[in-house]
């Protein structure tokens, strides 16, 4: 039975690691999109540049032209990572409660 428990803890750690990798990937994608849009906004605002939409401003127009797809992917990765991490925290708390009640029952 101890062997099964170690395997279960390994799965929990694996899911936590996947969640953390997804969170890091999301931050890198989001940062890349924002940096790309800021660089492109310099081109829009320069003399002889293509101009920008006055409703969105320089940065908003640059963000739309660079693309919202990286931002959507980043958002989906963050949501998935948070769900994985929260589930693992809940599983850890449940296992902690079970081990405490199991240990208490053995002592009585």
18 assigned to some structural domain: yes
Domain that holds residue 89: 12-96
Helices 2-45/57-66 angle, 10° precision: 120
25-42, pLDDT tens digit by residue? 999 999 999 999 999 988
Residue 6 above 80 pLDDT?
Answer: no
69 assigned to some structural domain: yes
Residue 79 above 60 pLDDT?
Answer: yes
104 assigned to some structural domain: no
* Of 24-28, 61-65, 90-94, 102-106, the least confident: 102-106
Question: What is the distance between the alpha carbons of residues 95 and 97, in angstroms, rounded to a whole number?
Answer: 5
89 assigned to some structural domain: yes
Q: What is the DSSP string of 37-100?
A: HHHHHHHHHSTTS----TTTHHHHHHHHHH-SHHHHHHHHHHHHHHHHHHHHHHHHHHHHHHHH
Q: Note if the pTM is more than 0.95.
A: no
Please tell me which of 10-14, 31-35, 43-47, 91-95 the model is most confident about, judged by mean pLDDT: 31-35
38 assigned to some structural domain: yes
Domain count, the chain: 1
105 assigned to some structural domain: no
pLDDT (0 to 100) of residue 9? 57
108 assigned to some structural domain: no
């Amino acid at each position: 039975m101890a062997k099964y428990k170690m395997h279960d803890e390994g799965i929990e750690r694996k899911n936590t690691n996947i969640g953390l990798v997804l969170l890091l990937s999301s931050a890198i994608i989001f940062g890349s999109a924002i940096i790309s849009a800021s660089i492109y906004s310099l081109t829009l605002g320069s003399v002889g540049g293509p101009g920008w939409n006055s409703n969105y401003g320089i940065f908003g127009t640059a963000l739309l032209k660079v693309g919202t797809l990286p931002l959507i992917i980043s958002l989906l990765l963050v949501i998935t990572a948070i769900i994985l991490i929260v589930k693992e925290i809940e599983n850890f708390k449940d296992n902690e409660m079970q081990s405490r009640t199991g240990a208490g029952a053995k002592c009585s």
